[in-house]
C-alpha cells in the first residue's frame, strides 16, 4: 500500500496550479487538483482575458471616429452591452473547458470542491473526504481589496462584478490608480460612460517611471476621463438606483456605479495554514516562500499571487513549471524574478521592462536617458490629439540598456520583444546597430542617438 494517496495535491485550479499539475503528471506523478469555483483562476475567469476582450471592444468607438480622416463615412452605429457580456461569457467557458481538458489529458484528477490543510500531508475536502499527499502546492491566487470599511462600502463593486453588470453605467466612479483601475476607466470611457478616477497618491501608476505616469494621465484626461489625486472615497450614499460618492476633500460625485480597484490580497484565509505550520510573510501578507517556492514546511510549496511576490499570470505559470521540474523532474531550477516585462492595458497602453529612470539613478553612477515623444502616423490623418512615448534607460558606464518604457498603441506587443534584448543585456550600441523598420512607432527605439539627459551621481565625500 502506498504511503500517500497522491504524490501531489494542488489547491487552486488557476494558471500556476494547472501548469504545475500538468508538468508533474507528465513526469509520472499521481496528481489531484482541487478548485472550488472555476478552472482557469483569476486570469481566465475574472482577470486578464475578459479584461482584454473588454479593452478590445472599447477601442471600436475610437476606430469609428478615426475612420473619417481616412475617407470612411460610417452611418449610425449602436452598442449593446449585454451582447458583449454574453459573448465574453461564451469565450471564458470555452477557455475553462480547455484548462479542464488539458489537466485531465495529463492524467491529473480534478475535484470541484474546496480543500483545507489538516496537517503537512493531509487535505480535507468540503465533501468530507480526506486525501494524503507527499507534496502539497498552494496556488489559490488573490482577491480584490475593498480597503477600509467606509460607510456605504456595501454599495461598491470590484473588478469581479464589473464583468457581469446587467447594463453599462452612464457614470462611474473608480477608486484606485493602478493596473485594474486605469484599465476599467479606459474600458468604460471607450463604451461611452462618464468616468471619474479617484486616487490617494500624488499621481496614478505608482511604481512606474515618472514620465510614463505623467504621459498616461495627460492622455487619459484628453479622452475625457476625470482624474482626482491626493484624495480618497470617504462615503458612498445610495439614492434609488444612483449613488453619491463623498470624497475626503469634501466634494461629491453623482454616479450610477462605484467601483474600488485598490489592489489585491493573497487568498490565504481559511486554508488551514496554521494547522500545517505554513508561515505568512509579515511584509506582504502572502505565503512565505524561498527561491524554490518552498514554504516553511518542507513538502508544501506555494506559487503565484498567493505568495504576493510578482502578481502576474506568466510569473505564476513559470513558478508552477519550475516547481514541477525541481520536485518531480529532478531538474532543479529557480525563477528569475528580475527584468519581468509588464503591460497596463489602459488607453493608451503601457509596456515596460527593466528599471525606471528613478531606480537606475539610485543603483548606477552614470545613467543616460533617451526619450521620444511624438505624434503617431495614424493621428496625422485621423486628427486625434494623441502622442506616443518611447524611453530607454541606459547605464552610461557599460552602455547596457537597463529599461524600456513605451506608452501608445501596441506598447505591450513591442515590449515583449524588447524584453528579450534587455534580458540578454543588450547595449545601446546593439540597438543603434539594428536597422529601423519604417514606418513604425517602434523604430524610434533604434534611431534615438542623442541622450535627452545624462545623470552622474556624485560620490559621497
User: Within 13 Å of residue 414, how many CA atoms lie on the same side as its CB?
Assistant: 24
Given a contact cutoff of 8 angstroms between Cβ atoms, the answer to whether 111 and 33 are in contact is: yes
Cell numbers representing residue 322 in the block: 519550475
CA contacts within 13 A on the Cβ side of 265: 11
User: Tell me, what's the pLDDT at 445?
Assistant: 97
Helix/strand/coil percent split, the chain, to 5: 35, 25, 40
Q: Give strand ranges (E) for 86-221.
A: 109-111, 115-119, 122-125, 130-138, 142-144, 171-175, 194-199
Q: How many CB atoms lie within 10 A of CB 388?
A: 23
Say how far apart CA 112 and CA 128 lie, in whole Å: 13
Integer Cα distance of 116 and 109 in angstroms: 17
pLDDT attached to residue 145: 84
Which phi and psi (to 5°) does residue 83 adopt? -65, -45
Q: Residue 1's pLDDT is what?
A: 46
Q: Which domains does the chain have, with CATH numbers?
A: 6-144+265-327 (3.50.50.60), 153-262 (3.50.50.60), 348-455 (3.30.390.30)
Task: Give dist(CA 319, CA 133) in Å, integer.
Answer: 20
What pLDDT, on the 0 to 100 scale, is given for residue 457?
84
Q: What are phi and psi of 388, to 5 degrees?
A: -105, 145
**Residue 459: its pLDDT value, please?**
59
Per-10-residue mean pLDDT, the chain, length 461: 88 95 96 93 89 96 95 94 96 94 94 95 94 96 84 93 95 96 97 97 96 98 97 94 95 96 91 94 94 96 95 94 96 92 97 98 97 96 95 98 97 98 98 97 96 84 46
Q: What pTM was estimated for this model as a whole?
A: 0.94
Per-residue pLDDT, 165? 95
Res 225: pLDDT: 98
Q: Which of 121, 215, 438, 455 is catalytic?
A: 438
pLDDT at residue 460 in the model? 47
Q: What is the sign, positive or negative, of the torsion defined by CA atoms of 442, 412, 390, 362?
A: negative
Cβ neighbourhood burial of 71 (10 Å; 0-12, 13-18, 19+):
exposed
Kindly state the DSSP code that residue 287 receives in the 8-state scheme.
B
Is 59 a catalytic site residue? no
Residue the block writes with cell 505624434: 375
Closest of 50, 207, 45, 51 to residue 141, by C-alpha: 45
Amino acid at each position: 500500500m502506498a504511503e500517500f494517496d497522491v504524490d501531489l495535491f494542488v489547491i487552486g485550479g488557476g494558471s500556476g496550479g494547472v501548469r504545475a499539475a500538468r508538468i508533474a503528471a507528465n513526469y509520472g506523478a499521481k496528481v489531484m487538483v482541487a478548485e472550488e469555483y472555476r478552472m482557469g483562476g483569476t486570469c481566465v475567469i475574472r482577470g486578464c482575458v475578459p479584461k482584454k476582450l473588454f479593452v478590445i471592444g472599447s477601442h471600436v468607438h475610437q476606430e469609428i471616429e478615426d475612420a473619417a480622416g481616412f475617407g470612411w463615412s460610417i452611418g449610425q452605429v449602436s452598442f449593446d452591452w449585454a451582447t458583449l457580456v454574453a459573448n465574453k461569457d461564451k469565450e471564458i467557458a470555452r477557455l475553462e473547458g480547455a484548462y479542464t481538458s488539458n489537466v485531465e489529458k495529463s492524467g491529473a484528477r480534478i475535484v470541484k470542491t474546496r480543500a483545507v490543510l489538516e496537517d503537512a500531508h493531509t487535505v480535507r475536502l468540503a465533501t468530507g473526504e480526506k486525501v494524503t499527499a507527499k507534496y502539497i502546492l498552494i496556488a489559490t491566487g488573490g482577491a480584490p481589496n475593498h480597503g477600509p470599511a467606509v460607510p456605504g462600502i456595501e454599495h461598491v463593486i470590484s473588478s469581479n462584478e464589473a464583468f457581469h453588470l446587467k447594463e453599462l453605467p452612464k457614470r462611474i466612479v473608480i477608486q484606485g490608480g493602478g493596473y485594474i483601475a486605469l484599465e476599467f476607466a479606459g474600458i468604460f470611457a471607450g463604451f461611452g460612460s462618464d468616468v471619474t478616477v479617484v486616487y490617494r497618491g500624488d499621481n496614478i501608476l505608482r511604481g512606474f517611471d515618472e514620465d510614463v505616469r505623467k504621459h498616461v494621465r495627460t492622455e487619459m484626461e484628453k479622452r475625457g476621463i476625470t482624474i482626482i489625486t491626493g484624495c480618497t472615497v470617504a462615503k458612498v450614499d445610495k439614492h434609488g438606483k444612483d449613488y453619491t460618492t463623498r470624497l475626503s476633500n469634501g466634494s461629491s460625485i453623482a454616479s450610477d456605479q462605484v467601483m474600488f480597484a485598490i489592489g489585491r490580497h493573497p487568498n490565504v484565509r481559511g486554508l488551514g495554514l496554521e494547522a500545517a505550520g505554513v508561515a505568512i510573510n509579515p511584509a506582504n501578507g502572502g505565503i512565505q516562500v524561498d527561491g524554490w517556492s518552498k514554504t516553511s514546511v518542507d513538502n508544501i510549496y506555494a506559487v503565484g499571487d498567493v505568495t504576493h511576490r510578482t502578481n502576474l499570470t506568466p510569473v505564476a505559470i513559470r513558478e508552477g513549471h519550475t516547481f514541477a521540474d525541481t520536485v518531480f523532474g529532478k531538474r532543479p531550477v529557480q525563477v528569475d524574478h528580475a527584468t519581468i516585462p509588464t503591460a497596463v492595458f489602459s488607453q493608451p497602453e503601457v509596456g515596460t521592462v527593466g528599471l525606471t529612470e528613478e531606480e537606475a539613478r539610485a543603483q548606477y553612477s552614470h545613467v543616460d536617458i533617451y526619450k521620444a515623444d511624438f505624434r503617431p502616423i495614424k493621428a496625422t490623418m485621423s486628427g486625434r490629439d494623441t502622442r506616443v512615448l518611447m524611453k530607454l534607460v541606459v547605464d552610461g558606464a557599460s552602455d547596457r540598456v537597463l529599461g524600456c518604457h513605451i506608452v501608445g498603441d501596441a506598447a505591450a506587443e513591442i515590449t515583449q520583444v524588447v524584453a528579450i534584448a534587455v534580458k540578454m543585456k543588450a547595449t545601446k550600441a546593439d540597438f543603434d546597430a539594428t536597422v529601423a523598420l519604417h514606418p513604425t512607432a517602434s523604430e524610434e527605439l533604434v534611431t534615438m542617438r542623442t541622450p535627452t539627459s545624462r545623470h552622474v551621481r556624485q560620490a559621497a565625500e
